[in-house]
Amino acid sequence: MHLSLKTKRKIIEIIFKSFILISAIISSLSILFLGLFILKTGIMPFLNNKIKILNFLFSTNWDPTSNLQKSYGILAFIINSFLTTLFSILIALPIGLGFAIYLLEKAKGFYRQFLQTVIELLAGIPSVVYGFFGSTFIAALVKNIFQREDNLGYNLISSSLILSIMIVPTIISVCYSSLKAVPKSYKFASLALAATDWQTIYKIIIPSASRGILAGTILAIGRAIGETVAVLMVGGGSPLFIKNIFSPIRTLTVNIAMDMGYASGVHREALFSTALVLLLFSIITNLLKNFILSSNKGLKKK
C-alpha cells in the first residue's frame, strides 16, 4: 500500500507527539512518586511519635547512635545550610552580575562566544571535581590566610567559597539573559540624556532586569543549598553547632550522605525527614522563582 507524502508526515507527527506525551507523563509520574515516597517516609516518624517534630526542627543535638539517649535535631544543619548558601550568594552575585554586564557591554564577537562557552563548561563540571579542587587548594589557602588554632581549612569559609565558584556560571547565564532582554531603546534614551555608560547600567539596565536577576539568584540558592559532594569534601562534617566561621560544618545534604550508608530504624527515618525538609525548601524556591518570572512577563505585557 502506497502512502502519500502528506499521510506519511501526519503519521510521523502523530508518533512524535505521542512520544513527547509519553515522555512527559513518565517524567511527571516519576517526580510525583518520588515526592510522595519522601513525604510518606519522612512524615511517619512524627505520626508514630518516634520523633517529636519540635525537637527535630529546633534542637541542635544530633546523636542518633548514642547508647544513652538518641537525639535527632537538625537545627544546626539548617543553619549551616543557610549560612553557606548566604555567604556563597554574597560572593557569587556581584561577580556573576559584573561578568554578565561585561559580556553584554564590552565583550564582542568571537571573544564573547569563547567566554560563554567557558561559562557553559564550568556549569557542567561534576561536583566532585569542584570538591577535589576545594579540598586540595581552597582549604589550604583558607588555612594559610587565617592562621588560627581552630582553623584547619575545612570549615564554613571553604564551603562558601567552593559553592560560590559552582553557582557563578548559573548567575552569569541568567543575569546575561535578563540584561540582554532589556530593550535597547532604554539605553539609547539614557545616553541621549547625557548619562554615562555606568549611570545607564546602574540606574536603567540593572533595575529593568532586576526581576530576572532575582529569579536567577533564587535558582542559584536552590543549587547551593542542594549541593552535597563538594561541601562534604571541604566542610569538615562536624554535627556540632558552629562557634564561628572557622568551625567545621555539616549541612542537611551532607548529613544525609554521611549517615545513610549505615543508618537503620528511626535513624534512617530521620534522614528521610531531613530529605523532606530539603524537598519543601526546593518546592518553595521554585515556586518563588516561577512567581517572579511570571509577574515579570505580566509587567512586560502591560
Q: How far is CA 192 from CA 65, 78, 180, 200, in A?
A: 69, 50, 20, 10
Query: Nearest-CA neighbor of 176 among 146, 133, 149, 213?
Result: 213
- pLDDT number for residue 129: 95
Average pLDDT (1-16) is 79
63 DSSP 8-state letter:
E
Q: What angle do CA 55, 56, 58 make, to 5 degrees?
A: 60
pLDDT band, residue 3 (cuts 50/70/90): low
C-alpha span between 226 and 157 (Å, rounded): 17
Instruction: Dig out the grid coordinates for 129 from the structure.
Output: 571535581
- pLDDT number for residue 141: 92
pLDDT (tens digit per residue) in 109-147: 899 999 999 999 998 899 999 999 999 999 999 988 887
